[in-house]
A and B are shown apart, each in its own frame.
Chain A
Amino acid sequence: MVFNSLHFLVFFIFTTSAYFLLQHRFRWFLLLMASCYFYMVFVPKYIVILGFTIIVDYFVGINLEKFTGRSKKIFLILSLIANVGILVIFKYYFFIDKNVSFLGDLFNSNWHLPNLNILLPIGLSFHTFQAMSYTIEVYRGNQKPERNFGIYSLYVMFYPQLVAGPIERPQNLLHQFYEKHNFDWIRVKSGLMQMTIGLFKKVVIADRLAIFVDGTYGELPKQGPLNLILAAVFYSFQILCDFSGYSDIAIGAARVMGFDLMKNFNAPYLAKSLPDFWRRWHISLSTWFKDYVYFSLGGNRVSVPKWYFNILIVFLLSGIWHGASWNFVIWGFLHGILQIIGIQLNRFFPFLASYNLKTKSLQIIYQIWTFILVTFTWVFFRLYKFSDLKIYFKQLCQFNLRNKFSFYLNLNEIIFSFGLILFLMLAQTYGLKDKLLKTPFFWFWMFLFMVCIYFFGVFNIKQFIYFQF
C-alpha cells in the first residue's frame, strides 16, 4: 500500500492503536504481522523472496559469531551472494538480457538469456541493502547477531521503512525493538506533524509538479528551451518532495510508536558543493556506500588516481542501484566525474573551496551553482531513453520563437508551484517543523496543513518515484 492512501491511514491508526494497547512483549509480533500485511498488499507471493533473504541472513549472522577466519568470510560471502543474487535476478535480469542481446546483434548472433516472467518486488533494493548492512556489521564485530528470529525479521521488514527506506543500520534499529515505548504526547505530535508535512510535500508539491514534468517530457519534440528548463527545475523539486515526503511519513510513523529512524534528507538544495549535496541527499544510501564500499576500497587513503577510481566506482554503483538502465549509470558517472573535477579544482585553487566561503552572497552563489549541477544530472535520471536525451538537448539549443511555451499547468498554477517551492526552501532554511511543534497552536497548524492537502492535493494515487527502485 502507498503512504498517500486511505488504506494506509486506516492501517496506521489500527496498528498504532493496537501497539499501545498491547503489552510490550507482544508488540514486536504485532509489528511483524502488520509489516507482513503491509508488504503483501503489493504482491502477496513476493513475501517468499523476503522470507528467503531473512532466513539466509539470520543464520549467517549467528554463524558469523561462531566462526573465524576463512569460514567467517565464507558466511559473509554467502549472505552477499544471496542478497545481490536476488537483486540481479529480479532487478537486473532484463537489463543484462537486453545488453547480451545487443552484443549478440553486433556479432550477428541471437544471444538471449532464458525468459523469466517476473516482476520487480517492491522495496527490493532497500531491504536487501538493509539486510547486508546487518551481516557486514556482525562480520566486523560492530553488532552482535540477533538470535530472536522474529526480531531479526522485524528489523528487515519494519513497515515504515520497508519499501523505500531510510536504509537503517542494525546498531540504530535492532535495540529499539527491545525497548519499551510508552505513549509520549510530545513524540506523537512530532511524528504526526512530520507525517503531515511529508504528505503535503508529496500530494501538494510533488504530484503537482509532476503534471508539468510528465507533460513536457512526454512530448519532447514539441518543447522549447523555456519548457525544458522549467521541467528540469520542477523535476528537481518533484523528486525531492516525493522522496523526502516519503521519508518524512516513514520517520513520522515510526516516531509515533517511539522508534527513531535515521534522518534521510537535510535540505539538500541548500548544499554548497556536490560532496555537501551527497551529505544531505538520501543520507542512508550515501552513507551505506561510503561505509561499505568506499572505505572498503580504501577511501581517500590511497593514491590520488585510486582515490578518484574509488569515487567513480561508488557513484557508478549508486547509479545502477537506482535502476536497471544505462541512464542511471550515466547519472551516477556524471556525479562521480563532477566530484573529481571539484576535488581537482579545490587542490589547485583552494580559495574556490566551498568550506572557504567568507561571505553570505558567495555561499548563495555556490548553492545556486550546486543546484544547477544537480538539476542538470537529474535530466539523465528522468529520461530513460538515449533518444529522449538527444531530443532534449537538441530542443534545448533551439532558440526558436515558434516553439511556444506549453502550458501543462496554467499560469496560476505555475505561480502557485513557484510559491510552494519558495515555501519549501524557506521552511527548510528556518526549520519550520521544529517551530510549529513549539507553538501553542499545534492543532491549528495541523488542521491547516490537512485542509491544504485536501483542497490542493493532486490525488491520482501517483506512486512514489523511489518505489520503482
Chain B
Amino acid sequence: MKKIIAIIFLIISSTIIYISSSDQLIGIIVNNRYKDATIWGSDKYIYGDLYGMSYLSEFKLKEYSTPTLDSFNRKDFPNPRYLYVMHDSYFPEYLSEKPEYFYNVKKLNLIHWKNRRVLDLDSIKNNNSIILIECVERNAFNLINLKGVLDRISFSNKKSSNSFNKISLNSNKSKDMNSFDFNFSNELIDLKNRIFNRFIETNIEFLIFNIRLFSPFKIFKAEINQKLFGRINGDVYLSKNKKYLYLNETINKLNIGSSFYPLSENEIGEFVNNLNEINDYLLNKGFKKVIFNINPNPVAILKTEDFPLNHFVQRVKNHTNLRATLLDPSDRLKINADHNFFHSDSHWNSNGAKIWMTYFNEELKKMK
C-alpha cells in the first residue's frame, strides 16, 4: 500500500515538474483553462491581472471589450510600408493579421519583448520598413537600450518566405551577467532553460491552484488580510480613492520604473542616449524610420496619489539631445482619464487602446 501511494506521489510530482518546465505545455493549459467556464477553469485574468494577483472581491469586474477601430483602404496607399513592432502587452496583438488598421501599412511584423527574432535585412531594405519600439513606462529603463534590443532581434541576409523566425527569449545566450560565460550551442542552452525554467514557480502555482474551485479561498484570504491587517498582495497597490489597483512597482519610489522615482537629469540623459543609439543602429540596418513609444504608467495619468510625479516621458521627449522620434500619448489619455484605464488591470482599456491607435495613425500620416 505504501509503495502504491509512493508511486502515485511520484507520478503526480514528476508530471507537475515536467509540465511546469515547458512554456509550451503551460501555454496550452492556460488557453484551455480560460475557455473553460466550469470550476476547473481559471478566472485569474478574466477580471484583470491585478485582480488575479490580489483577489479583492470589490475589484472582480469584467471590463474587457475589443475597441471599434477605423480601418484604412489599402488602395489609397501608393507606397505601403512594412511595420515592425517591438511591443509589450499594451500593444493590440489581436491586430497582428490586420494591417489595414494602421495607416499606409501593408504588413505587420510583431516582436514581443519576451521573444527573439531573426529579421531579414534585404526585406527591411526593400520594403520601406519602419519600426515601432513600444513599452510601458515601468519597463522602459530595463528594456529600451541597445543590448535589450539586440537581445531580441538579430539580422541576416538569408532570404526566406518568412522574413523572421521566432525564437523564445530563453535561447538567448547572453543572459547570465558574469564572467563565467561558457559558449554553448543553442540546443544545450534551450535544454538548460527547459530544465531550469525561470518561471517554474509561477507555472506550478498556475497549474495546481489557478482553478475556480480555489477562488473562494483566495478571496476569503484577501478579505481577512485586508479587513484585519489592512494589507493586500505585496505586488499590488490600492489607490487612495480605493477605485483603482496599480502594480506596486509603479508606485514604489525605490523602483526606477515607478512614476514617483526621483529621476535625475543624468538618468534622463542616459536614457536619451540609449534611444539615440538604438535609433542610429536601426537606421543603419535599413529601416526608413524608427519610432519610440513609451506608454505612461496608469497612475501617472489617473493622478490618484499625492506623491510628486517624475514626468519621465515628457522629460525625455523634451530633452535637447533627443534625435529619435518619441511618441507620448499622455496628454490624450489624460482627457477623461477615468474612462481610459481598467480598475483592476495594469493596462489601458479599449478606450485607451483606441486613443493610442488614433494617435499613432496620426503620426504615421505625418511620415513621408
Contact = CB atoms under 8 A, between A and B. Distances in A.
**Do A and B come together as binding partners?**
yes
B2 A118 contact: no
Interface string B1-43: 0110011011011101100100000000000000000000000
Interface in A104-128: 116-119
A7 B201 contact: yes
A424 B113 CA distance: 47
Interface in B153-189: 176-180, 182
Interface in A35-93: 37, 40-41, 43-46, 48
B13 A13 contact: yes
B333 to A, nearest CB: 31
Given A45-B180, A117-B177, A21 B201 contact: no
A416 interface: yes
A460 interface: yes
A15 to B, nearest CB: 9
B221 A117 contact: no
Given A6-B204, A7-B204, A117-B178, A21 B230 contact: no
B7 A412 contact: no
Interface string B216-234: 0100110011001111001
A455 B221 contact: yes
Given A20-B6, A412-B228, A455-B221, A48 B205 contact: no
Contact of B201 (A6, A48, A409): A6
B196 A454 contact: no
Nearest to B228: A412
Residue with the highest number of chain B CB atoms closer than 10 Å, among A10, A16, A456: A10
A183 B200 CA distance: 30
A409 B179 CA distance: 42
Contact of A21 (B6, B195, B205): B6
A40 B196 contact: yes
Contacts of B3: 21
A369 B237 CA distance: 41
A254 B207 CA distance: 27
B186 to A, nearest CB: 16
B13 A44 contact: no
B311 interface: no
A410 B229 contact: yes
Contact of B7 (A21, A45, A410, A461): A21
B367 interface: no
A118 B235 contact: no
Interface in A9-44: 10-11, 13-14, 16-18, 20-21, 37, 40-41, 43-44
A179 interface: no
B177 A43 contact: no
Contacts of B125: none
Given A17-B10, A20-B6, A117 B229 contact: no
A118 B17 contact: no
B178 A118 contact: yes
A346 interface: no
Contact of A412 (B9, B12, B204, B229): B229
B2 A14 contact: no
B180 to A, nearest CB: 5
A434 interface: no
A112 B16 CA distance: 49
B323 interface: no
Interface in A145-197: 183
Nearest to B200: A7
A451 to B, nearest CB: 10
A202 B180 CA distance: 33
Residue with the highest number of chain A CB atoms closer than 10 Å, among B2, B3, B6, B7: B6
Contacts of B2: 20, 183
A409 B231 CA distance: 8
Contact of A14 (B10, B177, B192, B234): B10
A233 to B, nearest CB: 19
Contacts of B235: 460
Contact of B221 (A10, A20, A409, A454): A454
B10 A21 contact: yes
A344 interface: no
Given A41-B196, A117-B178, A455-B221, A14 B13 contact: yes
Interface string B272-289: 000000000000000000
A119 B178 contact: yes
A10 B16 contact: yes
Contact of A461 (B14, B180, B201, B204): B201
A463 interface: no
B204 A10 contact: yes
A5 interface: yes
A291 interface: no
Given A5-B201, A6-B208, A17-B6, A460 B234 contact: yes
B179 A410 contact: no
A48 B180 contact: yes
B200 A43 contact: no
B342 to A, nearest CB: 23
B257 to A, nearest CB: 18
A409 B229 contact: yes
A21 B12 CA distance: 15
A11 B200 CA distance: 12
Contacts of B178: 117-119
A449 B56 CA distance: 24
Given A6-B205, A40-B196, A416 B229 contact: yes
A21 to B, nearest CB: 5
Nearest to B193: A44
Nearest to A455: B221
5 contacts: A1-B201, A14-B14, A117-B178, A412-B229, A413-B228
Given A10-B204, A183-B2, A456-B224, 17 more contacts: A6-B201, A6-B208, A13-B9, A17-B13, A20-B6, A21-B7, A40-B196, A43-B176, A44-B192, A44-B196, A118-B179, A218-B254, A410-B229, A410-B230, A413-B229, A416-B228, A455-B220
Interface of B: 2-3, 6-7, 9-10, 12-14, 16-17, 20, 176-180, 182, 192, 195-196, 200-201, 204-205, 208, 217, 220-221, 224-225, 228-231, 234-235, 254
Interface of A: 1, 5-7, 10-11, 13-14, 16-18, 20-21, 37, 40-41, 43-46, 48, 116-119, 183, 211, 218, 409-410, 412-413, 416, 454-456, 458, 460-461
- Lowest 4 A-B CB distances belong to which pairs? A14-B13, A17-B10, A17-B9, A413-B229
